[in-house]
A and B are shown apart, each in its own frame.
Chain A
Amino acid sequence: MTVPVRIEHLFKTYTRRRLLGKNLEKPVLKDVSLTLEDNHVLGLVGESGCGKSTLCKVLLGIEKPTSGLVEVNGQNVPTLSKSEFKKLRRVLQVVYQDPYSSLDPRMNVRQLLSEPLDIHRLKKDKQERKAFLKELLTAVGLSESQLERYPHEFSGGQRQRICIARALALNPQILVADEPVSALDVSVQAQILNLLKEIKKSRRLSMLFVTHDFAVARFLCDDIAVMYRGRIVERAPAEELFTNPQHPYTEALLSAVPSVHAPRRAVFAGQETPEEHPERESWACPFAARCRYAQPACQTQPFALQEVAPRHACACGVLPFKNHKSKSAV
């Protein structure tokens, strides 16, 4: 069965050419495999710089993969011709982190929302266009009276609503959202999160949702993939991941999430002095330098995702993680 997005063994290395000497190679995505299922929200969680945005760019055809399969609705994105790609963009849309720089300041809301329709020659009838724009604005919580206004007249949250409306204009089936609430004020984040959840349901969207915030992920996502330095270390249905995390990195992340609901306990969970083991950087497991369960086997055990339960995969070489919890680190 074709799924909205299937990524298999994706590698991406950025190369910086140098005039003298060897080119600089920076591997950013390493053997990433993911599936976005129909009408699901797949959360991609990981620290800043781990490769989340790069993955989005490859999926959107903005960056070419070094190797691997990137399928949207069964079509391999990197091999598409220009016209095939244009067709695909009707199905696949994106919302970025920064609502300030993603809107052309010289265009008013009407022009911003009409542009994708004009490109694809849709809703050309005047009355039809008018009704459609109205519906679109209502869907994102704005009103028709704001059509003639320019981006600088809107707040960050409202601009993000415009970005979402623009992404929805072509009635896409898949939405890529790269940290869509991170740049927004705390009091406005909840508004946008509710909106995304609502349109996922009402428009039967499938969504790749990038975030570094677990609370946000729990609210919105059906499945979650945890990324560490360009690799997926664990993926599972969201509730399964929160209640039964398997990878030491996921466990560490979850126990460190501060919360206003259980304040002191949460922040001071990892009470000991921070420890890093730079000498383990060369180990086979990329997380070894920060892992409290590391064992000699982790030096050589090849890195691989393994199923630990149905739909739940984890890349800790010394599985099952639950069993070595009691053992001491090297």
Chain B
Amino acid sequence: MNRSDEPILEVRDLHIEFAGEDGPLPVLHGLSYTLPKGRVLAVVGESGSGKTVHALSILRLLPPNARISQGEVRYKGKNLATLGREELRKIRGNKISMIFQDPAASLNPVLTIGQQLTETLLAHRKMSKSAARAKAVKLLEKVGIAGAEKRLNEYPFQFSGGMCQRVMIAMALALEPDVLVADEPTTALDVTVQAQILNLIKQLQKASGMSAVFITHNLAVVAGIADDVLVLYAGMCMEYAPAAELFEHPLHPYTQGLLNSLAPVHEKVDILPVITGHPPLPGKLPPGCPFAPRCPFAKDKCRQVCPPLFEENGRRTRCWLREGK
């Protein structure tokens, strides 16, 4: 087996539901993917499609009213759902790290940046305090924060949004994890800072062979960072493909519609092609293909039977149009 084909993380037929007033409300309907070593998988989808819920489920961080109703998440073959507390603690942050959308909210406002970084290191590694501090300085330098030695003594409010997010990345990378799960890490930032952060993640990932699951609703960001892309719609994978192929030649009508509807930045156009209608609300999935009410190619069959994922040349597409291709 080729080194880069070794799966580090495997999500198999993952179903997640929330406890609703009138019974369980399913929000993820059988998500599957494998993340090979050293690759970046982007999970794209619109608001409510299940991106965050799926990410939280990986490290068993789902809110109490949510549960995995079926399926599993495996890290190097181990089922994370059935792992004991102690074993899970060893994996969290250590082998699998997570970055959340809002950096300011994830940092502790009353501790200095240095305290937070060294605490993370000391909790998981046997090292002296001074060694941890030295490592913290190195980490800050690695994420491009000038004058790291001095800035360790500062508090989060003294850092800009972009710098806080870089500190979060430094923390996430402190223990050299195998997998980084990043949920919209750049959504709150301006595009210049966003580009810096994306470059940084990409560089560090290349240098260390880390794998990453990168969650975003921004297709353009995906184009810059991902090796593979998974398009989520209403809690289902609609299309899975290598990034270059997906952008070059999207197969699913939803992906095609999304790409067409984006305003281009390099030219001025008069009108934007639109996908009519809107995504279904949770618990209100139409029968058959979830995209059928908005799909220009929908046939009777689409409205009755939900298509499976059809495989072709390493790509997967949930659309009857790809049957037998």
A-side residues, CB < 8 A to B, are 46-49, 155-158, 185-191, 193-194, 197, 212-216, 218-219, 238-239, 242, 252-254, 256-264, 266-271, 273-279, 290
Q: Is the CB of A263 within 8 A of B263?
A: no
- Which of A157, A262, A277 is close to B146, meaning CB atoms less than 8 Å apart? A277
Q: Is the CB of A263 within 8 A of B247?
A: yes
Contacts A186-B258, A270-B192, A271-B199 hold; do A193 and B146 have CB atoms under 8 A apart? no
- What chain A residues lie within 8 Å of B202 (beta carbons)? 268
- What chain B residues lie within 8 Å of A158 (beta carbons)? 278
The segment out of B105-113, B173-181, B216-224 that lies at the interface is B216-224
Contacts A48-B190, A187-B257, A187-B258 hold; do A193 and B263 have CB atoms under 8 A apart? yes
Assembled-state Cα–Cα distance A97/B178 (Å): 38
Q: Is the CB of A256 within 8 A of B264?
A: no
Q: Is the CB of B261 within 8 A of A262?
A: no
- What chain B residues lie within 8 Å of A264 (beta carbons)? 223-224
Q: Is the CB of B146 within 8 A of A278?
A: yes
Q: Is the CB of B199 within 8 A of A259?
A: no
Is residue B147 within 8 Å, beta carbon to beta carbon, of the partner chain? yes
- What chain B residues lie within 8 Å of A268 (beta carbons)? 195, 199, 202, 224
Contacts A186-B262, A218-B263 hold; do A275 and B47 have CB atoms under 8 A apart? no
> Please, could you name 12 A-B residue pairs with CB atoms under 8 Å apart, sorted by A?
A46-B190, A186-B219, A187-B261, A219-B269, A219-B272, A253-B190, A258-B191, A258-B221, A258-B223, A267-B220, A267-B224, A267-B225
Assembled-state Cα–Cα distance A9/B192 (Å): 28
Q: Is the CB of B261 within 8 A of A256?
A: no
What residue in chain A is nearest B279 (Cβ atoms)? A185
- What chain B residues lie within 8 Å of A189 (beta carbons)? 261
Give a binary string over B183-226; 1 marks a CB under 8 Å from any A CB, 0 the rest: 00000111111111111101000000000000001111111110
- Which of A49, A215, A216, A276 is close to B145, meaning CB atoms less than 8 Å apart? A276
Q: Is the CB of A274 within 8 A of B200?
A: yes
Q: Is the CB of A190 within 8 A of B223?
A: no
- What chain B residues lie within 8 Å of A290 (beta carbons)? 192
- 6 nearest A-B residue pairs (beta carbon): A267-B224, A263-B223, A47-B190, A274-B196, A258-B220, A190-B261
Q: Is the CB of A239 within 8 A of B268?
A: yes
Most buried by A among B144, B198, B273, B278: B278
Interface residues of B in 109-163 (CB under 8 A from A): 143-147, 160-163
B-side residues, CB < 8 A to A, are 46-47, 143-147, 160-163, 166, 188-200, 202, 217-225, 243, 247, 257-259, 261-269, 271-276, 278-279, 281, 294
- Which of B264, B271, B278 is close to A215, meaning CB atoms less than 8 Å apart? B264
Assembled-state Cα–Cα distance A219/B261 (Å): 12
- Which of B143, B147, B224, B279 is close to A263, meaning CB atoms less than 8 Å apart? B224
- What chain B residues lie within 8 Å of A47 (beta carbons)? 189-190, 193
Q: Is the CB of B224 within 8 A of A194?
A: no
Assembled-state Cα–Cα distance A239/B202 (Å): 33
What residue in chain B is nearest A239 (Cβ atoms)? B268
What residue in chain B is nearest A188 (Cβ atoms)? B278
Q: Is the CB of A275 within 8 A of B198?
A: no
- What chain B residues lie within 8 Å of A239 (beta carbons)? 268
- What chain A residues lie within 8 Å of B190 (beta carbons)? 46-48, 212, 253
Assembled-state Cα–Cα distance A275/B294 (Å): 45
Q: Is the CB of B220 within 8 A of A273?
A: no
Q: Is the CB of B264 within 8 A of A197?
A: no
Given contacts A215-B262, A260-B247, A273-B200, 8 further A-B contacts (CB under 8 A): A156-B278, A186-B46, A190-B273, A214-B265, A218-B264, A252-B192, A270-B192, A270-B199
Assembled-state Cα–Cα distance A157/B276 (Å): 11
- What chain B residues lie within 8 Å of A156 (beta carbons)? 47, 278
What residue in chain B is nearest A290 (Cβ atoms)? B192
Q: Is the CB of A266 within 8 A of B261?
A: no
Q: Is the CB of B266 within 8 A of A261?
A: yes
- Which of A46, A216, A238 is close to B263, meaning CB atoms less than 8 Å apart? A216
Q: Is the CB of B262 within 8 A of A260?
A: yes
Q: Is the CB of A275 within 8 A of B144?
A: yes
- What chain A residues lie within 8 Å of B199 (beta carbons)? 267-268, 270-271, 274
Q: Is the CB of A258 within 8 A of B146?
A: no
Q: Is the CB of B166 within 8 A of A274?
A: yes
Q: Is the CB of B146 within 8 A of A267?
A: no
Assembled-state Cα–Cα distance A253/B192 (Å): 6
- What chain B residues lie within 8 Å of A256 (beta carbons)? 191-192, 194-195
Assembled-state Cα–Cα distance A190/B46 (Å): 14
Assembled-state Cα–Cα distance A188/B277 (Å): 8
Q: Is the CB of B223 within 8 A of A194?
A: no
Q: Is the CB of A262 within 8 A of B196?
A: no
What residue in chain B is nearest A271 (Cβ atoms)? B199
Q: Is the CB of A263 within 8 A of B220?
A: yes
Minimum CB–CB distance from A146 to chain B (whole Å) comes to: 14
What residue in chain B is nearest A155 (Cβ atoms)? B278
- What chain A residues lie within 8 Å of B224 (beta carbons)? 258, 263-264, 266-268
Assembled-state Cα–Cα distance A263/B263 (Å): 14
Contacts A259-B266, A262-B266 hold; do A48 and B188 have CB atoms under 8 A apart? yes
Q: Is the CB of B278 within 8 A of A197?
A: no
- What chain A residues lie within 8 Å of B145 (beta carbons)? 276
Assembled-state Cα–Cα distance A97/B282 (Å): 23
Assembled-state Cα–Cα distance A274/B167 (Å): 13
Assembled-state Cα–Cα distance A97/B281 (Å): 21
- What chain A residues lie within 8 Å of B279 (beta carbons)? 155, 185, 187
Most buried by B among A46, A257, A274, A275: A274
Assembled-state Cα–Cα distance A156/B280 (Å): 11
Q: Is the CB of A218 within 8 A of B194?
A: no
Contacts A190-B272, A194-B271 hold; do A185 and B47 have CB atoms under 8 A apart? yes
Assembled-state Cα–Cα distance A238/B196 (Å): 26
Minimum CB–CB distance from B160 to chain A (whole Å) comes to: 8
- What chain A residues lie within 8 Å of B276 (beta carbons)? 191
- What chain A residues lie within 8 Å of B217 (beta carbons)? 185-186
